[in-house]
Amino acid sequence: MVKVSNTATLSSTTEGDLFLVPENYVAFLKRLTITNNSTTLATVTFKAYNGSASKIILVVNVDTNKTEKFREDELPAEGIPTKLTAITTSAPVVISFTYDLV
Amino acid sequence: MGEYFFFYKEFNPRFKPREFIQIRGKFYEIKECRPMLPWTLKLTNITSNTVLDDLKNQGLKARNNEILDMRLRIDGPVKVLFRIEGAGGDVFGGWGALERHADDTVPDNLLENLIMGDSIGWLWVNIVPLVVPAWCRLRAEGYVYVVEEATVKPQTYATPAYIASAYTASMR
């Protein structure tokens, strides 16, 4: 198992990749922190990709200048086989995340 | 080990050099044993039953003078139907085809199979998605035995095990 942590900034309201899952691995999300640096409420939608098919796995509302944290037991437990992306309704939003590549 | 704890059996080599195995009516002497490099296959966006015809075309095969003894693991929201192809008679895999369903709750010691060369014991696989779209990962780990056909019938020999055996492999 490989543990990976990273931080991504969504600077626009278009869908952005948080991470791509390498060849034969499957990713499991373990921690998630979302900080809204914009001036309005941000609704952040997380999409897990399975090949070209996507599924919304989490939708989070974050107030201006607030941070939402999710522990492992508060996150979807299913595997992410291809990639994880996020879309926000207002930017910028900073997302820190930890995932296991199994 | 996780969920495998209760059913887990350590996977040690089944044969040592100078032991014998019977395959398709012939006897082979084990010359050498070494670990197999792990084999992995990941499929994504599975929306309907997917037949892999067969795993030897995906790289899971042995050389003609080698026997591959491997255990498979399944990950993902799928059910997998294995069928042993190239079965060699009543000793190796039964007559015709032997089919078994498995998913990721099946411990790997129940998903063991032997492959010899590219014609005996290889696996046909049908992946049935439990959710749509599903993903699936198959992993195989095990041992490679270099063998040589014996000129006489040995006094003791093994008959190989295979996936969820209809009858148990036994040492005679």
Residue A93 parent element (H or E)? strand A93-101
CB interface of A with B, residues 32-61, below 8 Å: 50-53
Amino acid at B98: L
**Which pTM was predicted?**
0.81
Q: Regarding predicted confidence, which is higher, B127 or B26?
A: B127
Residues B56, B117: Cα–Cα separation, whole Å: 10
Name the minimum distance, in Å, from the CA of A3 to any CA of chain B.
18
| Domain limits, chain A | 2-101
Name the minimum distance, in Å, from the CA of B127 to any CA of chain A.
16
CATH architecture of the domain formed by A2-101? Sandwich (2.60)
Q: Average per-residue pLDDT in chain A?
A: 94
Note the pLDDT of residue A55: 93
All residues of chain A having their beta carbon less than 8 Å from the beta carbon of residue B137 are: 24, 26, 81
Copy the structure tokens of residue B161: 């095990």
Check if the beta carbon of residue B139 is closer than 8 Å to that of residue B40.
Answer: yes
Number of domains into which chain B is organized: 1
B72 found inside a domain: yes
Q: Do the chains contact at B135 and A26, CB–CB below 8 Å?
A: yes
Q: What percent of chain A shows pLDDT beyond 90?
A: 95
Check if the beta carbon of residue B35 is closer than 8 Å to that of residue B144.
Answer: yes
Note the pLDDT of residue A2: 92
Check if the beta carbon of residue A52 is closer than 8 Å to that of residue A26.
Answer: no
Q: Regarding predicted confidence, which is higher, B166 or A86?
A: A86
Work out the average pLDDT over B77-84: 87
pLDDT per residue over B132-154, tens digit each?
899 999 999 999 999 999 998 88
Q: What is chain B's length?
A: 172
- CA angle (A6, A7, A12) in 5-degree steps: 140
All residues of chain B having their beta carbon less than 8 Å from the beta carbon of residue A24 are: 40-42, 137
Choose the weakest-confidence range: A19-33, A62-76, B24-38. B24-38
Copy the structure tokens of residue B56: 């030897």
Which structural domain range is residue B91 located in?
17-149
Q: Regarding predicted confidence, which is higher, B115 or A13?
A: A13
Is A78's pLDDT higher than 80?
A: yes
- Best of A21, A49, A50 to disrupt the B interface by mutation (most B CBs within 10 Å)? A50
Residue B7 parent element (H or E)? none
Nearest to A51 among B76, B133, B137 (CB): B133
Q: Regarding predicted confidence, which is higher, B163 or B152?
A: B152
pLDDT per residue over B43-72, tens digit each?
999 999 999 877 888 988 888 899 998 888
Note the pLDDT of residue A36: 95
Q: Do the chains contact at A53 and B77, CB–CB below 8 Å?
A: no
Is B88's pLDDT higher than 50?
A: no
Q: If DSSP states are collapsed to H, E and C, what string results for B82-131?
A: EEECCCCECCCCECCCEEEEECCCCCHHHCEEEEECCCECCEEEEEEECC
User: Rounded to the nearest 5°, which phi and psi values hold at A69?
Assistant: -120, 140
CATH assignment at residue B115 = 2.60.120
- CA angle (B1, B140, B128) in 5-degree steps: 95
pLDDT per residue over B7-40, tens digit each?
556 788 888 899 998 887 788 999 999 999 999 9
Q: Regarding predicted confidence, which is higher, A28 or B167?
A: A28
| Distance, C-alpha B26 to centroid of its chain | 19
Q: Do the chains contact at B135 and A50, CB–CB below 8 Å?
A: yes
Name the minimum distance, in Å, from the CA of A100 to any CA of chain B.
15
B35 found inside a domain: yes
Q: Average per-residue pLDDT in chain B?
A: 80
Work out the average pLDDT over B114-120: 82
Q: Do the chains contact at B134 and A50, CB–CB below 8 Å?
A: yes
**CA proximity to A4, closest of A39, A36, A28:** A28
**CA proximity to A82, closest of A58, A54, A49:** A49
Note the pLDDT of residue B160: 67
Note the pLDDT of residue B166: 42
Work out the average pLDDT over A44-57: 94
Residues A40, A43: Cα–Cα separation, whole Å: 10
B111 found inside a domain: yes
Nearest to B45 among A23, A50, A102 (CB): A50
